[in-house]
Amino acid sequence: MDVLDTLKKDWQKQESTLPKLSYKEIYSMLLKKSSSIVKWIFIISICELLFWILISFLVPDSSREFNEQMGLKTAFWILSALNYVVFGIFLYFFYKNYRAITVTSTIKELMKSILKTRNTVRYFVYYNIGSTALLLLGANLYFFFHKENLQQFLAQTNDNYGKLSPEEATTLFFGAQFVVGLVFIGLLMLFYYLIYGILLRRLKRNYRELKKIEV
Protein backbone atom coordinates (compact mmCIF):
# COMPACT_ATOMS: atom_id res chain seq x y z
CA MET A 1 0.00 0.00 0.00
CA ASP A 2 2.89 2.37 0.79
CA VAL A 3 4.26 1.92 -2.73
CA LEU A 4 0.82 2.53 -4.26
CA ASP A 5 0.30 5.69 -2.23
CA THR A 6 3.70 6.93 -3.28
CA LEU A 7 2.87 6.34 -6.96
CA LYS A 8 -0.44 8.18 -6.58
CA LYS A 9 1.27 11.18 -5.00
CA ASP A 10 3.90 11.24 -7.75
CA TRP A 11 1.18 11.11 -10.41
CA GLN A 12 -0.77 13.94 -8.78
CA LYS A 13 2.35 16.06 -8.74
CA GLN A 14 2.97 15.36 -12.44
CA GLU A 15 -0.66 16.01 -13.29
CA SER A 16 -0.53 19.44 -11.69
CA THR A 17 2.36 20.37 -13.98
CA LEU A 18 0.61 19.29 -17.19
CA PRO A 19 -0.81 22.09 -19.38
CA LYS A 20 -4.55 22.68 -19.03
CA LEU A 21 -6.44 23.11 -22.29
CA SER A 22 -9.19 25.68 -22.31
CA TYR A 23 -12.65 25.15 -23.81
CA LYS A 24 -11.71 27.31 -26.79
CA GLU A 25 -8.45 25.44 -27.40
CA ILE A 26 -10.18 22.04 -27.33
CA TYR A 27 -12.84 23.28 -29.74
CA SER A 28 -10.22 24.75 -32.12
CA MET A 29 -8.27 21.49 -32.05
CA LEU A 30 -11.36 19.38 -32.85
CA LEU A 31 -12.42 21.85 -35.53
CA LYS A 32 -9.01 21.60 -37.21
CA LYS A 33 -9.05 17.79 -37.04
CA SER A 34 -12.58 17.54 -38.44
CA SER A 35 -11.85 20.01 -41.22
CA SER A 36 -8.76 18.02 -42.23
CA ILE A 37 -10.71 14.74 -42.29
CA VAL A 38 -13.49 16.16 -44.45
CA LYS A 39 -10.91 17.69 -46.80
CA TRP A 40 -9.35 14.26 -47.24
CA ILE A 41 -12.77 12.75 -47.95
CA PHE A 42 -13.21 15.31 -50.71
CA ILE A 43 -9.72 14.70 -52.12
CA ILE A 44 -10.08 10.91 -52.07
CA SER A 45 -13.47 11.08 -53.81
CA ILE A 46 -11.91 13.20 -56.58
CA CYS A 47 -9.10 10.66 -56.96
CA GLU A 48 -11.68 7.89 -57.12
CA LEU A 49 -13.57 9.68 -59.90
CA LEU A 50 -10.34 10.19 -61.86
CA PHE A 51 -9.50 6.52 -61.36
CA TRP A 52 -12.81 5.36 -62.87
CA ILE A 53 -12.42 7.78 -65.77
CA LEU A 54 -8.93 6.37 -66.42
CA ILE A 55 -10.28 2.80 -66.24
CA SER A 56 -12.93 3.65 -68.85
CA PHE A 57 -10.14 4.50 -71.31
CA LEU A 58 -8.36 1.23 -70.59
CA VAL A 59 -11.30 -1.03 -71.41
CA PRO A 60 -10.13 -3.62 -73.98
CA ASP A 61 -11.49 -3.37 -77.52
CA SER A 62 -12.88 -6.89 -77.14
CA SER A 63 -15.16 -5.72 -74.31
CA ARG A 64 -16.33 -2.74 -76.35
CA GLU A 65 -17.03 -5.04 -79.29
CA PHE A 66 -18.92 -7.44 -77.02
CA ASN A 67 -21.16 -4.68 -75.66
CA GLU A 68 -21.81 -3.41 -79.17
CA GLN A 69 -22.67 -6.87 -80.51
CA MET A 70 -24.99 -7.50 -77.59
CA GLY A 71 -26.75 -4.18 -78.13
CA LEU A 72 -25.61 -2.59 -74.87
CA LYS A 73 -23.22 0.06 -76.12
CA THR A 74 -25.71 2.94 -75.96
CA ALA A 75 -27.21 1.75 -72.67
CA PHE A 76 -23.80 1.55 -71.01
CA TRP A 77 -22.86 4.97 -72.36
CA ILE A 78 -26.02 6.53 -70.90
CA LEU A 79 -25.54 4.77 -67.56
CA SER A 80 -21.91 5.90 -67.40
CA ALA A 81 -22.92 9.50 -68.08
CA LEU A 82 -25.60 9.35 -65.37
CA ASN A 83 -23.14 7.82 -62.95
CA TYR A 84 -20.64 10.63 -63.53
CA VAL A 85 -23.40 13.18 -62.94
CA VAL A 86 -24.34 11.55 -59.62
CA PHE A 87 -20.65 11.32 -58.70
CA GLY A 88 -20.30 15.02 -59.43
CA ILE A 89 -23.27 15.80 -57.18
CA PHE A 90 -21.64 13.92 -54.31
CA LEU A 91 -18.39 15.81 -54.91
CA TYR A 92 -20.33 19.05 -54.63
CA PHE A 93 -21.81 17.95 -51.28
CA PHE A 94 -18.41 16.84 -50.00
CA TYR A 95 -16.96 20.24 -50.86
CA LYS A 96 -20.00 21.97 -49.35
CA ASN A 97 -19.56 19.99 -46.13
CA TYR A 98 -15.89 20.92 -46.03
CA ARG A 99 -16.67 24.61 -46.44
CA ALA A 100 -19.41 24.40 -43.80
CA ILE A 101 -17.03 22.90 -41.24
CA THR A 102 -14.26 25.45 -41.85
CA VAL A 103 -16.59 28.37 -41.04
CA THR A 104 -18.39 26.91 -38.02
CA SER A 105 -18.22 29.00 -34.87
CA THR A 106 -20.10 26.90 -32.31
CA ILE A 107 -19.96 23.32 -31.05
CA LYS A 108 -23.53 22.61 -32.13
CA GLU A 109 -22.83 23.78 -35.68
CA LEU A 110 -19.69 21.66 -35.87
CA MET A 111 -21.51 18.59 -34.54
CA LYS A 112 -24.29 19.15 -37.06
CA SER A 113 -21.74 19.44 -39.91
CA ILE A 114 -19.98 16.24 -38.79
CA LEU A 115 -23.27 14.31 -38.78
CA LYS A 116 -24.17 15.67 -42.21
CA THR A 117 -20.76 14.67 -43.59
CA ARG A 118 -21.04 11.15 -42.15
CA ASN A 119 -24.48 10.72 -43.72
CA THR A 120 -23.26 12.02 -47.08
CA VAL A 121 -20.37 9.56 -47.11
CA ARG A 122 -22.70 6.69 -46.17
CA TYR A 123 -25.08 7.55 -49.02
CA PHE A 124 -22.11 7.81 -51.37
CA VAL A 125 -20.85 4.34 -50.40
CA TYR A 126 -24.34 2.82 -50.56
CA TYR A 127 -24.89 4.35 -53.99
CA ASN A 128 -21.61 3.08 -55.46
CA ILE A 129 -21.94 -0.44 -54.11
CA GLY A 130 -25.67 -0.65 -54.85
CA SER A 131 -25.42 0.76 -58.38
CA THR A 132 -22.52 -1.59 -59.19
CA ALA A 133 -24.45 -4.63 -57.95
CA LEU A 134 -27.59 -3.59 -59.87
CA LEU A 135 -25.59 -2.95 -63.03
CA LEU A 136 -23.98 -6.40 -62.89
CA LEU A 137 -27.32 -8.04 -62.13
CA GLY A 138 -29.14 -6.13 -64.88
CA ALA A 139 -26.47 -6.85 -67.48
CA ASN A 140 -26.45 -10.57 -66.73
CA LEU A 141 -30.24 -10.74 -66.83
CA TYR A 142 -30.07 -9.10 -70.24
CA PHE A 143 -27.45 -11.66 -71.36
CA PHE A 144 -29.64 -14.47 -70.05
CA PHE A 145 -32.65 -13.34 -72.07
CA HIS A 146 -30.45 -12.96 -75.15
CA LYS A 147 -28.61 -16.26 -74.84
CA GLU A 148 -28.72 -16.96 -78.57
CA ASN A 149 -26.75 -13.81 -79.40
CA LEU A 150 -24.44 -14.49 -76.47
CA GLN A 151 -23.71 -18.06 -77.54
CA GLN A 152 -23.09 -16.99 -81.11
CA PHE A 153 -20.67 -14.24 -80.09
CA LEU A 154 -18.77 -16.50 -77.68
CA ALA A 155 -18.39 -19.24 -80.29
CA GLN A 156 -17.09 -16.77 -82.89
CA THR A 157 -14.62 -14.89 -80.73
CA ASN A 158 -13.29 -17.45 -78.27
CA ASP A 159 -11.89 -20.84 -79.24
CA ASN A 160 -12.42 -22.26 -75.77
CA TYR A 161 -16.10 -21.40 -75.83
CA GLY A 162 -16.34 -22.66 -79.41
CA LYS A 163 -15.34 -26.15 -78.31
CA LEU A 164 -18.24 -26.32 -75.85
CA SER A 165 -21.93 -26.85 -76.42
CA PRO A 166 -24.10 -23.70 -76.29
CA GLU A 167 -25.44 -24.67 -72.86
CA GLU A 168 -21.97 -25.36 -71.47
CA ALA A 169 -20.64 -22.12 -72.92
CA THR A 170 -23.36 -19.99 -71.31
CA THR A 171 -23.03 -21.84 -67.99
CA LEU A 172 -19.30 -21.17 -67.97
CA PHE A 173 -19.88 -17.55 -68.94
CA PHE A 174 -22.41 -16.85 -66.19
CA GLY A 175 -20.31 -18.72 -63.65
CA ALA A 176 -17.32 -16.55 -64.48
CA GLN A 177 -19.49 -13.43 -64.36
CA PHE A 178 -20.78 -14.40 -60.91
CA VAL A 179 -17.30 -15.00 -59.48
CA VAL A 180 -15.80 -11.87 -61.01
CA GLY A 181 -18.78 -9.81 -59.85
CA LEU A 182 -18.50 -11.05 -56.27
CA VAL A 183 -14.75 -10.40 -56.20
CA PHE A 184 -15.18 -6.91 -57.65
CA ILE A 185 -17.94 -5.91 -55.21
CA GLY A 186 -15.94 -7.43 -52.34
CA LEU A 187 -12.87 -5.38 -53.25
CA LEU A 188 -15.03 -2.27 -53.59
CA MET A 189 -16.52 -2.82 -50.14
CA LEU A 190 -13.07 -3.44 -48.68
CA PHE A 191 -11.77 -0.21 -50.22
CA TYR A 192 -14.63 1.82 -48.77
CA TYR A 193 -14.30 0.14 -45.39
CA LEU A 194 -10.57 0.80 -45.16
CA ILE A 195 -10.52 4.33 -46.56
CA TYR A 196 -13.83 6.03 -45.80
CA GLY A 197 -14.47 3.80 -42.79
CA ILE A 198 -11.30 5.00 -41.06
CA LEU A 199 -12.12 8.64 -41.76
CA LEU A 200 -15.69 8.25 -40.53
CA ARG A 201 -14.53 6.62 -37.31
CA ARG A 202 -12.21 9.56 -36.69
CA LEU A 203 -15.08 11.96 -37.28
CA LYS A 204 -17.17 9.96 -34.85
CA ARG A 205 -14.48 10.29 -32.18
CA ASN A 206 -14.40 14.04 -32.73
CA TYR A 207 -18.17 14.14 -32.41
CA ARG A 208 -18.00 12.32 -29.06
CA GLU A 209 -15.34 14.70 -27.78
CA LEU A 210 -17.50 17.66 -28.79
CA LYS A 211 -20.44 16.06 -27.02
CA LYS A 212 -18.43 16.00 -23.80
CA ILE A 213 -17.65 19.73 -23.86
CA GLU A 214 -21.04 20.84 -25.18
CA VAL A 215 -22.65 23.37 -22.89
pLDDT at position 2: 46
pLDDT at position 11: 41
**What pTM value is reported for the model?**
0.82
List, run by run, the mean pLDDT of 10-residue segments along the chain (215 residues): 48 47 74 92 94 88 84 90 94 93 83 92 95 94 88 75 75 90 95 93 90 72
Nearest residue to 206 via CA among 93, 126, 118: 118
pLDDT at position 159: 67
Query: Phi-psi bin for 59: left (phi > 0), alpha (psi -120 to 50), beta?
Result: beta
Q: Is 80 within 8 Å of 67 (Cβ atoms)?
A: no
Q: Is 104 within 8 Å of 156 (Cβ atoms)?
A: no
Q: Is 114 within 8 Å of 101 (Cβ atoms)?
A: yes
pLDDT at position 160: 66
**Cβ count within 10 A of residue 18:** 7
- 3-state class (DSSP) for residue 7: helix
- 3-state class (DSSP) for residue 165: coil
Domain-wise residue ranges, the chain: 21-213
